[in-house]
Structure 1
């Protein structure tokens, strides 16, 4: 309870918590949808927001509110898969490279550096085109995860390199502490702020990249996501034809989600940072 109390004192955490709770509620409401999200012409077309259709309807004859519930849910599923899998890869690569050093470190960092310097977006486009017929939420999440770990692995490696030279590491090794126990008990706690912040940032990155791929039509457009909603609205020139409610719904949902995730990352990272914790105690 003390943790939550301290976190809620930060206006950034409070704002992001409220926004993310509303987003999660919106995603949860998808299970109550009276419509199949893949079906067209289930409601009148191009209706403005009203008491009956809260977010209006689109030119495909779909209720935008219920489409938004599925879109938010699916975008969160994709980004969470991408973030969790890439965190596992980043932690393993960063820990192994930083602790072992030598040839292993050089090989792993060569792979990491290669992923950082090559034009990932072009490769993502090529891979998305190759697996487009097999594209679903899990496949897209795994595809994004493969490109989301390299920079974070370097950050974790840098932290481990510093910890490896600390006196407590030498003491633990001389006392017979195993590598796994040393990593779990000593190294992981030091890297938790970094892991949490990169996890949240990676969720935001994955959502943004999914929107980009969907905008280019490189995903299954029949699966509602924030990106596919935006694609359909632009395809039908919603803004130019005065159907502002169609395009503004995914735009505003995405913006609020990005801002909330960023502030959540910053607030949690600062709270978990031992230096800021000492400052809070001193104050």
Structure 2
């Protein structure tokens, strides 16, 4: 048997085995794939906070700022919010004979929007009626979205008996004439002047269409591979619904939220104008009713009394429409991802954003 020296064993007579890709690791390790990525960075708490800021603050603000509809809609809605919260603290309630009867708009800046036939400042009436209107809008819109999304989501995700029962209830509310129902309930129920209750009453039959649409969306999402995979590995149902399904429905939900808010405005103004809801609180519809009763619609000198509350209603409706259209883009995953990448591209890799990696394998 021939003895082999160390030099013989290390000689080049016998080829050395190399990985299939023909590349060797410089650190002495073995290469298993040409796509191995070795990160030189470990994510820190600061980086996690920056990513959260990027996803939930910078990206939405960037989307809103670059969309003219968002800027206009946000400005209008913010103006009404300030008028409904800070306005009553700065503007006193209108009183009888505080000014001349039927003063025209912009003639006297003490009454910038003019006065009614009893000398009450119309600007003061609009400002002090805004808080009650905002309360009705909030309660009615949230009631519609919460009930419609919950019923439609459960019916679409669970299926079976739950779907049959909830779909039947939804169909009943869809076929009920909403406005006459609200009129009857307003006359029968002792709701008083509570704006929160009035807002819910106005939307008691308005959630059916949203529930039906949400059910259709969930039926489609339920068949997606990522939902089936989550169910297969035993992810709890609430987690699947709130983390996987609801985010995909947010653009649709936001649009319906603004539509429900506009519906509350129009129905509240109409019911107050018709005298069906109690006049316990000042409201734009109450101002319209008083103007109509006094014949302002055919008296040229009193026409501004009729126009001022109508302009208030129209402008907040326009603001909600524009804001809803822009929020659709805010909740769009593709648009958000595009704006999030903007901040990542401007970051210095040395600050630790996880982009400084070595790709081995000859790529």
State the TM-score, normalizing by the size of structure 1. Answer: 0.91
Which residue, out of 22, 33, 44, partners 2:79?
A: 22
Matches of 2:196 and 2:289 in 1, distance apart? 20
Matches within 5 A, 1:157-168: 157-168=215-226
CA RMSD of aligned residues (A): 2.2
Give yes or no for contact 1:234–1:247 (8 Å, CA) kept in 2: yes
Q: Please tell me whether residue 179 in structure 1 is matched to residue 237 in structure 2.
A: yes
Which residue, out of 219, 224, 238, partners 2:282?
A: 224
Give yes or no for contact 1:64–1:246 (8 Å, CA) kept in 2: yes
Cα-to-partner distance string for 1:251-273 (whole Å, 9 max, x where unaligned): 11111111111111111113322
Runs (4+) of structure 1 moved beyond 6 Å? Answer: 278-282
Q: Please tell me whether residue 249 in structure 1 is matched to residue 305 in structure 2.
A: no
The offset of 1:178, in angstroms, is 0.7
Give yes or no for contact 1:71–1:229 (8 Å, CA) kept in 2: no
Matches of 2:205 and 2:211 in 1, distance apart? 11
Indicate the structure with greater helix content: 1
Cα-to-partner distance string for 1:131-174 (whole Å, 9 max, x where unaligned): 26624212211212312211111121111111111111221112
Q: Which has the greater radius of gyration?
A: 2
Aligned residue for 2:298, secondary structure, equals coil
State the TM-score, normalizing by the size of structure 2. Answer: 0.72
Matches of 2:285 and 2:190 in 1, distance apart? 15
Matches within 5 A, 1:24-173: 24-27=81-84, 28-35=86-93, 40-49=96-105, 50-131=108-189, 134-173=192-231
Question: Partner residue of 1:233?
Answer: 291
Question: Partner residue of 1:213?
Answer: 271
Using the TM superposition, name which of 156-165 and 272-281 deviates more: 272-281
Question: Partner residue of 2:254?
Answer: 196
The offset of 1:25, in angstroms, is 2.3
Matches of 2:118 and 2:191 in 1, distance apart? 22
Cα 1:5/1:279, change in 2 over 3 Å: closer
Question: Partner residue of 2:41?
Answer: none
Q: How many residues align?
A: 281
Which residues of structure 1 form unaligned runs of 5+? none
Give yes or no for contact 2:271–2:277 (8 Å, CA) kept in 1: yes
Question: Partner residue of 2:326?
Answer: 267
Which residues of structure 2 form unaligned runs of 5+? 1-57, 342-363
